[in-house]
Amino acid sequence: MAIERRRAARVLLLDERERLLLLRGFDPALPDVMWWITPGGGLEPGESVREAALREIAEETGLRSVALGPEVAYGTVSFSFRGQAFEQDQRFLLARTAACEVDLPGTAAEEHALLLEARWWTVAELRQTGETVYPVGLAGFLEQLLADGPPVTPVRL
């Protein structure tokens, strides 16, 4: 199987209480395996990381009043979805919102229909959960981000 390479925008979306929004989803090829991820997805042709971040937030959560901040992290991840292997170069942007209600029916695309739940997480909850959360190391990164503010240059996550 050929590996599809793609670029993606991911969003570390914080509410007024400094909680991080994560989305619970699954791969239909492995329906019993659940995970939590940040909002985000692949860039469309000609789209910037910032444009993709705002589009993905709106599509996946229904939120439109989001203050998009700086790029704070980057990374590369390999995964499979629906039997297709991907290598994804992802950029993480910090964003804030006053809204707390997430509208998953805003998930129009078929891939977004595989998002089951949205939840706001504290750092303590992320550290204590036994559930799978991506990216690995997110709790520690978020804790440092909240304590020190955004890094001068994006860091590997």
- Rounded to an integer, the average pLDDT of 144-156 is 97
DSSP 149: -
pLDDT at position 19: 96
- Rounded to an integer, the average pLDDT of 89-104 is 87
**What tokens does 30 get?**
């492995």
pTM exceeds 0.95: no
Lowest mean pLDDT among 42-51, 54-63, 143-152: 54-63
How many helices (DSSP H) and strands (DSSP E) are in the chain? 3, 8
| 4-149 is a CATH 3.40.50.1820 domain | no
Q: Collect contacts of 40-43 with beta carbons under 8 A, ≥24 apart.
A: 40/8, 40/9, 40/10, 40/11, 40/90, 40/92, 41/8, 41/9, 41/111, 42/6, 42/7, 42/8, 42/88, 43/6, 43/7, 43/8, 43/9
pLDDT surpasses 80 at 20:
yes
- Rounded to an integer, the average pLDDT of 113-141 is 93
Looking at every residue in the chain, the average pLDDT score rounds to 90
**What tokens does 13 get?**
């979306």
pLDDT at position 105: 52
Confidence bin at 100 (pLDDT 50/70/90)? confident
Among 135, 119, 138, residue whose Cα is nearest residue 127: 138
pLDDT digits (tens, 9 = 90+) for 54-91: 999 988 888 888 999 999 999 999 888 888 888 999 99
